[in-house]
């Protein structure tokens, strides 16, 4: 089994959740099968497997008819048996490979893209829906991030169940951080932001130029926080992420309301480890929410909306994840209060079994056999 993956956008070095979802998956997949990657020139990879930075950075790369010959030549020269496409954006190219070659085609879906764009109000979502359906129906194997996406595709795109597999976003950890490490990170956050020993640290993280994340932030400052201010809880909410609109003035109007805007941070792991509760009130946008998986991987208590928890099974978190109905802000406030007193005694082993990258890579390989 020899795979050539096509990644037509910047991934290396991986910083954001979606980039990590490819780079870390490939790290572990390449330990099990021969993996080569063809990607755009702006990438700066340091990975141990072979990466060709030969694709143009121009938007025309998505419609370049000569790309078929380039990829096919490279696949033949390196004796590839499978071609893996990240996202369904190359549906036309997938059709050509399925028609003109004997190589097996894999499409790695990260969301139902058309539904994601529908949820944020894009008028052309239905056009994408048909294009996306074409990509998946031409593939020999489709990897979905969530069971919900897989079931949607089987129902609405009429995909055969035997061609569809759930390959979720993962984490590298397989044990909880040591207590002394958690305490050191918390102490560092306290020093950086003037947080008291008695205060509960709540964390929200996300790229704020992305509308679903910005809407979630607005829900925190306009809906959830006013309710928390009426509770007895002593707390601070840390907001991490770049892209905050200028009109929100760095959230300075909320400094006296227990909200601190940290902006883009170089080491988000510090914040995950040092916080007490991760909050995830996303109301739209598809697919698994990578930051929720990362927070649970660090053993954090989490309160999430139903939409924000898509793709994560609360049963495997053994009490760490509390899911409340979308836009039920009273329930969100009560959930945060409940989590401040909930004791979590398990070692998170069930979560690591399901969401470790090693387990996920094993599952992906098995789907191709």
What CATH number does residue 191 fall under? 3.40.50.2000
**CB 118, CB 105: distance < 8 Å:** no
Residue 185 lies in a domain: yes
- List pLDDT tens digits, range 341-363: 888 888 999 999 999 999 999 99
Overall domain count for the chain: 2
Q: pLDDT tier at 369 (50, 70, 90 boundaries)?
A: confident
CA pair distance 115, 331, nearest whole angstrom: 27
Residue 278 lies in a domain: yes
Region 144-148: what's the mean pLDDT?
94
Residue 190 scores a pLDDT above 90:
yes
- Pair 96, 201 in one domain: no
- Pair 59, 92 in one domain: yes
Q: pLDDT tier at 329 (50, 70, 90 boundaries)?
A: very high
Phi, psi of 105 (to 5 degrees): -110, 130
Domain containing residue 244: 179-353
- Average per-residue pLDDT in the chain? 95
Q: Residue 345: what pLDDT? A: 80
**Interacting residues of 107 by C-beta distance below 8 A, sequence separation 6+:** 84, 85, 87, 88, 94, 135, 136, 139, 141, 142, 143
CA pair distance 128, 84, nearest whole angstrom: 20
Q: Which residues of 50-72 are buried (b: 16+ CB within 10 A; e: fewer)?
A: ebbeebeeeeebeeeeebbeebb
Q: Residue 119: what pLDDT? A: 82
Residue 172 lies in a domain: no
Q: pLDDT tier at 202 (50, 70, 90 boundaries)?
A: very high
Residue 99 lies in a domain: yes
Residue 343 lies in a domain: yes
Residue 364 lies in a domain: no
- Pair 106, 210 in one domain: no
Instruction: Decide: helix, strand or coil at residue 208.
Output: coil
- Pair 241, 319 in one domain: yes
pTM higher than 0.85: yes
- Pair 149, 247 in one domain: no
- Pair 290, 258 in one domain: yes
- Give 316's Cβ-side CA count (13 Å radius): 15
Percent of the chain with pLDDT over 90: 91
CB atoms within 10 A of CB 351: 26
Between 318 and 7, residue with greater pLDDT: 7
- Pair 6, 143 in one domain: yes
- Stated as kind and residue range, the H or E segment containing 353 is helix 349-355
Q: Which is it for strands 235-240 and 277-280: parallel, antiparallel or unpaired?
A: unpaired
């Amino acid at each position: 089994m020899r795979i050539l993956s096509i990644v037509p956008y910047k991934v290396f070095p991986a910083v954001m959740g979606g980039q990590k979802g490819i780079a870390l998956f490939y790290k572990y997949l390449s330990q099990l099968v021969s993996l080569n990657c063809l990607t755009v020139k702006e990438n700066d990879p340091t990975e141990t497997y072979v990466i060709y930075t030969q694709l143009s950075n121009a938007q025309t790369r998505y419609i370049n008819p000569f790309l078929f010959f380039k990829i096919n030549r490279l696949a033949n020269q390196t004796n590839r048996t499978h071609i893996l496409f990240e996202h369904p954006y190359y549906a036309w190219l997938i059709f050509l490979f399925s028609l003109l070659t004997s190589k097996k085609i894999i499409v790695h879906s990260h969301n139902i893209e058309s539904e994601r764009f529908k949820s944020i109000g894009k008028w052309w979502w239905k056009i994408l829906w048909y294009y996306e359906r074409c990509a998946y129906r031409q593939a020999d194997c489709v990897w979905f991030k969530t069971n919900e996406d897989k079931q949607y595709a089987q129902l609405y795109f009429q995909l055969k169940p035997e061609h569809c597999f759930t390959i979720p976003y993962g984490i590298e950890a397989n044990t909880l951080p040591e207590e002394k490490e958690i305490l050191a990170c918390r102490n560092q956050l306290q020093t950086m932001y003037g947080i008291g020993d008695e205060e509960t640290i709540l964390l929200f993280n996300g790229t704020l130029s992305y509308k679903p994340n910005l809407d979630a932030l607005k829900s925190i400052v306009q809906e959830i926080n006013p309710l928390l201010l009426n509770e007895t809880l002593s707390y601070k909410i840390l907001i991490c992420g770049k892209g905050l609109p200028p009109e929100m003035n760095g959230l300075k109007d909320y400094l006296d309301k227990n909200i601190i805007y940290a902006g883009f941070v170089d080491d988000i792991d510090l914040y995950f480890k040092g916080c007490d509760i991760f909050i995830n009130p996303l109301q739209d946008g598809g697919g698994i929410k990578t930051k929720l998986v990362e927070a649970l991987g660090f053993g954090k208590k989490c309160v999430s909306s139903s939409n924000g928890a898509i793709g994560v099974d609360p049963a495997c978190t053994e009490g760490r994840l509390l899911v409340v109905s979308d836009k039920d802000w009273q329930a969100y406030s009560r959930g945060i209060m409940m989590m401040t007193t909930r004791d979590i005694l398990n070692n998170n082993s069930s979560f690591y079994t399901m969401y470790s990258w090693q387990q996920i890579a094993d599952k992906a390989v098995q789907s191709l056999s």
